[in-house]
Amino acid sequence: MAEELERGPGPGALPDPERVRIPDDASALEADLWAWRAEQMRLGRPTPWLAGRRSTRWRLASRVAPMLLGSLLLVAFLFSLAATVRPATVEPTPASALATSTGQDGTVGGLLPPAILDVDGATKSARTIRPAALLLVPSAGASQAMLDAVHLQTSSYGIPLMLVGPPTRQALLERTASDIAAGTVPVVIDAASAIAESLGLPTVFDPTLIVIGTDGRIHTIVENPTSGIRLESVLSRAAAGVDPAAA
């Protein structure tokens, strides 16, 4: 057993060094140490041990708080960005009266043939689909990068992009359309392949793009368009309904 420390007179007074005996086992002083700490806390005197713990907690809080605040600010910024930054939307360009003075069907300045088409399950005349950008999709399909580039430009002028093909390619057309603009691109089934025939396309052909103006006249026919195609000028004229020959 450790010999108890003899304390000097008065509460909290330090013991007389001459009267202090150090035990062989320092752990015997643990009870006295805790008693001394309790006495110091009762008297409102911070001990080095307690001050050290408070200092450690303060240092930890001073490091964690800025990181937590920064994380909260980042989350708030991302939420506000998602709520305010949205793709610009353009209202669909309305159709005008069907042109009466035109060139040959299936050529620039002419109309589409008077074919009956299936547009997403609805029966429509080819000449009522205006303005529009019709992409005739071959059996080999079409480049996704090109489709995205064309759709981005046509939608900027309020002109819808539509995928066209015969009934034998309906599954291909629907799969392709599902990968463009979250599946909002219409699929047009041309049972008689009347549009392809009016363009004089062979049985096997490359993707072919037709831009049709508000009055139904064809403004351009582009065979095998690439992802780098630029359509702004022709789309602006098609949306304005001007004469294709005035280009």
Q: What does the pLDDT profile of the chain (247 residues) look like in tens digits? A: 444 444 445 555 555 656 656 666 666 667 776 776 777 677 766 555 555 555 555 565 566 667 777 777 777 776 665 544 444 567 899 999 999 888 899 999 999 999 999 999 999 999 999 999 999 999 999 999 999 999 999 999 999 999 999 999 999 999 999 999 889 999 999 999 999 999 999 988 999 999 999 999 999 999 999 999 999 999 999 999 999 987 6
CA gap 81, 90 in Å, rounded: 21
CA distances from 147 to 155, 176, 203 (A): 12, 9, 22
CA gap 109, 103 in Å, rounded: 5
pLDDT on residue 28: 64
The amino acid sitting at 6 is E
**Cβ neighbours for 106, distance < 8 A, ≥ 6 positions apart:** 112, 113, 195, 197, 198, 199, 200, 218
pLDDT on residue 247: 62
pLDDT on residue 131: 97
Number of Cβ atoms within 10 Å of the Cβ of 101: 7
pTM of the shown model: 0.65
